Structure 1
């Protein structure tokens, strides 16, 4: 990290706080899905998401020192990424309402595997045998959790899987942005597109349900605060240390989700998740370790 102090320990701690906040947001979405549709909750989330995106842009010193322009040549790419986020949220939020919290969350951690696979056609990257093996191991873990062809399989398990692929697409396409474009500016465009897309989607799927109580309004506000704060924590952590230092700790979200699901919803899908969850984590960590070695010494 040229010209910047690397504070890995504090960055890791802040990224773990982000994981907790994201899971708290997910708990509210799961609880509220009994009365409100996934598209509605996604719309509320994205409208609140405009705030942290704008704050993150303002926190970017280079943008403040420059002309503070909001123009961007690749606005179509950013808008497309935002619409992909809209669909990903719809699928994931639906899964939270239909599945055990920890199961939906664990399957969604296949994003790192999809990211590696999509980097080949979208970025032209060369992926070697070790990383393809890691992807294969992770997907075997997904199969062990889903158990297709058995009585335990349910189509809803495909929802977080599809969401993971779309989230991976948004991550890969972010790497296509021109150098010099502030990441928060690109994210602001994407967040705006996601907000518009989710509102349109909610209206197309039946509109917004009147809020049943002030308590529900407060929960939706809290959902937005948790989600927005999580985004800001991630932005801060990525500015404090290398992403490769943070990536292994992202899998702490799986046991956190398991504990939250057990405490708040009396769910303990241990038999469903094991040993598949271990393979998903193992495949993801193999990719992280391999990419760190590649940055140091080259190869694929």
Structure 2
């Protein structure tokens, strides 16, 4: 238990972050008819860097370390920013070409990929139960994508690529030195994402003229809401153990379905089920197993 553990409030913040992420996705889908995914990623990262700066400024760990901005593993931090850019580009493309809930649900497979990637990158040992959970979740992904059927399109690979890249971002976060504040790592990655996204947008075809004032407001809102979502997650992770928050992330699946239904009149029941249930079950099994292992480790330390 952390000294100032506030699990209840942390859960509320994490759920608020989910709502903000979904709101960002809705705005991206709304704007995707007029602007490319590369442009939207660039603007998202540009306006999102301000909440990242706020998260760093409010970090007690960073202030206690003397407010240093230089980190030893800056190359890794910038590399993570490049990976984030690729994940965003894949996800934003999928939002433009697929049902909102379907694209969002497939990206929740990132928890499964994080477990698999932890073996080669972190040297972790994954037991039979967690591998079984990964297989269950991946079967859910296959059921949603339906490869080999007439319903399958290459666009379905886009959110899957995004899930792998987001998982890679999550795993590599654990490679940083323990004395580096998480908001500082996030700021480095955000800065690299801004640079990478603008470069891709430039070579993708440049930036389209903003059609009207309302689009400007939507773009500002997209970046601000997305950055604020990250800020809420950073704050919530400082309040309690991440394992206390992880199960609630799957509330995003029904939330995405409801929002897609309300705003875009999309009801992809046949596409999502039962695949979405299997993805959720697989993810929750992994979370449960990791909590059990963490409790065992703490018990051994106390003894």
Scaled by the length of structure 2, the TM-score of the pair is: 0.97
Q: Report what 1:260 is aligned to.
A: 259
Cα distance in 2 between the residues matched to 1:124 and 1:229:
33
Cα distance in 1 between the residues matched to 2:264 and 2:130:
36
Q: Residues 148-167 of structure 1 correspond to what in structure 2 (within 5 A)?
A: 148-167=147-166
What number of residue pairs does the alignment pair up? 298
Q: Report what 1:192 is aligned to.
A: 191
Structure 2 residue 30 is matched with structure 1 residue 57: no
Q: Report what 2:25 is aligned to.
A: 26
Listed one character per residue, the Cα deviations across residues 125-175 of structure 1 (whole Å, up to 9, x for unaligned) are: 000000000000000000111111110111100000000000000100010
RMSD of equivalent CA atoms: 1.1
Structure 2 residue 9 is matched with structure 1 residue 10: yes
Shift in Å, 1:93? 0.1
Q: Report what 2:221 is aligned to.
A: 222
- Three-state SS of the structure 1 residue aligned to 2:175 is coil
Cα distance in 2 between the residues matched to 1:27 and 1:193:
25
Scaled by the length of structure 1, the TM-score of the pair is: 0.98
Q: Which runs of 5+ in 2 are unaligned?
A: 298-303
Cα distance in 2 between the residues matched to 1:65 and 1:6:
19
Cα distance in 2 between the residues matched to 1:53 and 1:175:
19
Q: Which runs of 5+ in 1 are unaligned?
A: none
Cα distance in 2 between the residues matched to 1:62 and 1:232:
15
Cα distance in 2 between the residues matched to 1:49 and 1:277:
29
Q: Report what 2:244 is aligned to.
A: 245
Q: Report what 1:92 is aligned to.
A: 91
Of 245-254 and 230-239, more deviation after overlay is shown by 230-239
Cα distance in 2 between the residues matched to 1:92 and 1:126:
30
Shift in Å, 1:234? 0.8
Shift in Å, 1:62? 2.7
Cα distance in 2 between the residues matched to 1:68 and 1:285:
37
Q: Residues 130-149 of structure 1 correspond to what in structure 2 (within 5 A)?
A: 130-149=129-148
Q: Report what 2:181 is aligned to.
A: 182
Shift in Å, 1:5? 2.1
Cα distance in 1 between the residues matched to 2:120 and 2:288:
22
Cα distance in 1 between the residues matched to 2:215 and 2:166:
28
- Three-state SS of the structure 2 residue aligned to 1:126 is coil
Q: Report what 1:169 is aligned to.
A: 168
Structure 2 residue 63 is matched with structure 1 residue 77: no
Shift in Å, 1:66? 3.4
Of 223-232 and 280-289, more deviation after overlay is shown by 223-232
Of 285-294 and 8-17, more deviation after overlay is shown by 8-17
- Three-state SS of the structure 2 residue aligned to 1:284 is helix
- Three-state SS of the structure 2 residue aligned to 1:114 is helix
Cα distance in 2 between the residues matched to 1:261 and 1:86:
24
Cα distance in 2 between the residues matched to 1:215 and 1:31:
12
Cα distance in 2 between the residues matched to 1:111 and 1:159:
13
Q: Residues 99-138 of structure 1 correspond to what in structure 2 (within 5 A)?
A: 99-138=98-137
Q: Is the contact made by 2:48 and 2:228 (CA closer than 8 Å) also made in structure 1?
A: no
Cα distance in 2 between the residues matched to 1:167 and 1:292:
22
- Three-state SS of the structure 2 residue aligned to 1:175 is helix
Of 241-250 and 5-14, more deviation after overlay is shown by 5-14
Cα distance in 2 between the residues matched to 1:64 and 1:249:
30
